[in-house]
Amino acid sequence: MRSFEKKDMKAGVLAILICAMFICIGFSGCTQQQQEEQTEIKNPSTIVKYDIGDAKTLDPADAYDTGSSEPIFQIYDTLVTYKGNDTLTFYPCLATEWSVSNDSLTWTFKLRQNVKFSNGNDFTAEDVKYSFDRVLTMAAPESGVDWILAQCMDMNSTTVIDDYTVQIKLTQPYGGFLSLLPFTIGAIVDKDYVEEHGGVVAGVENEWMKSNPMGTGPYMLDHWTRATEIVLNKNPNYWGGWEGKHVDKVVLKYADEAATRILALKNGDADFTYLPYTNLEDVMGEKGIVVHPFDSYDIIMCVINTKVTNNVYLANGEVRKALSYAFDYDTAIETAYSGYASRLAGAIPNGMPYYDTQNNGQPLYNYDLTKAEQILDNAGYTKSFDLDETLYRFNGTTIRVFFNAGNAEREKMAIMFRGALDEIGILSSVIAEGWPQLLHRMYTTDDWDLMFIGWGPDYNDPDDYIFPFIASADVKGDTYNTGYKNETVDEYLLEGKYSADPAVRAAAYKGAYDIYIQEPSFIFLQQRQYIRPWRDWVQNYSYNPVREWYYYDYYKAYE
């Protein structure tokens, strides 16, 4: 040690001290709770929300992601809408009254008068016809969202009776027609405005409308700085008026980093934020912050590729049943969703009509590895393949479980599932890939086995769920290209789709369920709750599972 000089020692010690100090300071504050009196409200007439995922477009005729639909809902109005957390009652918005003919085919709407778009143009029935025809003509080239209207409307459907009356004749009876209207696809645009800026071209997107919205809603666009924020200012022409308590400005900020969003909520920069379930404990119990779960219609499932050309084992309904017994549903809810989710009985989520047609709302499958093994053995798939002194089934075939990279909850469930599959002798691999790659597998090469996916409501009707999942490709279902097909089930689902009689629909959905649950093409995992922690000075916030955000109702004050 004699060869070291004294100064070297000093320097070395100093270095260690600096590093240690860095680390200590860095994390010392983590466990502190900040006890203060009521903090002053930041930006009292502005609501700021920090979220991930920028909007892609502000054109309601071609928007199909939450990042886009959220600002659209504030800028545009629809004919009818939902209020608060009520998803069963339709409230008048741009339509004040409506009625339907006896054969359920023709709807008549009386429209609200003295409504102006934010540019001063008058709202009339012409705008309604133009908006719906536009959706059908343009055919949503970037998102395909027009299917929602196209399933029961065509270019001859909408007719203008007079300036404030419009009639819609469906192409076939559609039980849930009214519920289609509150979604962004039903937003009313200003005919003159659109015609001035590119009009409607079949199959081609309108570049101007993507970033220059013009609506009758409470807010209008101030600026959209990509990847940073969308700022909305109040629309002075708004027909609902500005008496009472409303905020003048809405700022939708985007920050991908969870740590940044947590700090923003804590210091009051953010009034609302999105946090992964696992970070809720970081803000729970903090003074000034409210963490409150709401029931939603968002569901998560594991899709199975039933095509025999891909995997002969998964083509067998018994195998898929066994897989349904191999998933630890409760642990998944506890660990991936921190308890903020509930079991899902079938394709229709809890809260929607006809949920109880699914085994009375009770999930049929529970975590039972013994049963899973029994089913597999009985089906003839025994543990017979030896790989490094472990016995596997399926001749050692690897079952690949896919999910989109970056989704922490699905990663967790995938790894958990892999462990369970190991225990029952199924060799599996968890693979994270980008969304375009997954699409390619699912639709072009059919090269996938299991995939975790999520689904949210486009409109408040069970048909929005069960048809795309369970109906076959022959009747334009099977959105996930599972290859599942059962003609009886298809008949039931078509009946359920087009009938307006609740009794008929209930019977149809029950019939369908009883069949498909015995050879499931989905493992129904959970229905998650919606939580956006907010500052306690926010008032009058409520969550609507279909409409989600309506800033006009909220305001900031201590009450």
CB 559 within 8 A of CB 541: no
CB of 313 to another protein, least distance (A): 14
Query: Which DSSP helix (H) or strand (E) runs through 430?
Result: strand 428-433
Neighbours of 271 (CB within 10 A): 27
CB of 557 to another protein, least distance (A): 19
Quick one: 75 or 94, whose CB is closer to another protein? 75
Q: What is the DSSP letter of 445?
A: I
CB of 388 to another protein, least distance (A): 7
Quick one: 111 or 255, whose CB is closer to another protein? 255
CB of 11 to another protein, least distance (A): 4
Quick one: 159 or 279, whose CB is closer to another protein? 279
Indicate the burial class of 156 (C-beta count within 10 angstroms; 0-12, 13-18, 19 or more): exposed
CB 72 within 8 A of CB 63: yes
HSE toward the beta carbon, residue 270, CA cutoff 13 A: 27
d(CA 147, CA 139): 8
HSE toward the beta carbon, residue 8, CA cutoff 13 A: 5
Those residues with Cβ within 8 angstroms of residue 167's Cβ, 6 or more apart along the chain or in another chain: 106, 107, 108, 109, 158, 159, 161
The residue behind tokens 């369908």 is 512
Quick one: 116 or 418, whose CB is closer to another protein? 418
CB of 162 to another protein, least distance (A): 34
Complete DSSP assignment for 325-388: HSS-HHHHHHHHSTT-EEE--SSSPBTBTTGGGTGGG--S----HHHHHHHHHHTT--S-EEET
What is the β-pairing status of strands 534-535 and 165-169?
A: unpaired
CB of 366 to another protein, least distance (A): 18
CB of 499 to another protein, least distance (A): 24
Quick one: 308 or 408, whose CB is closer to another protein? 408
In 113-248, beta strands by DSSP E = 158-162, 165-169, 219-225, 229-234
Quick one: 167 or 437, whose CB is closer to another protein? 437
Beta bridge partners, 506, equal none
CB of 343 to another protein, least distance (A): 18
Quick one: 15 or 308, whose CB is closer to another protein? 15
d(CA 404, CA 143): 19
What are the structure tokens assigned to 169, written together?
A: 């004749």
Indicate the burial class of 241 (C-beta count within 10 angstroms; 0-12, 13-18, 19 or more): exposed
CB of 17 to another protein, least distance (A): 11
Triad 362, 363, 364: Cα angle to 5°: 110
CA nearest to 410, candidates 430, 438, 428: 430
Handedness of CA 526, 529, 530, 532 (dihedral sign): negative
* CA distances (Å), origin 48, targets 83, 230, 248: 21, 10, 11
Quick one: 192 or 411, whose CB is closer to another protein? 411
Quick one: 123 or 551, whose CB is closer to another protein? 551
Beta bridge partners, 109, equal 98, 166
CB of 92 to another protein, least distance (A): 30
What are the structure tokens assigned to 82, written together?
A: 């939902």
d(CA 310, CA 442): 11
CB of 459 to another protein, least distance (A): 14
Beta bridge partners, 272, equal 49, 534
Quick one: 146 or 548, whose CB is closer to another protein? 146
CB 202 within 8 A of CB 139: yes
Quick one: 295 or 433, whose CB is closer to another protein? 433
Residue 183 Rama label (left phi>0; alpha psi -120 to 50; beta):
beta
CB of 101 to another protein, least distance (A): 30
CB of 471 to another protein, least distance (A): 14
Quick one: 161 or 391, whose CB is closer to another protein? 391
Quick one: 295 or 411, whose CB is closer to another protein? 411
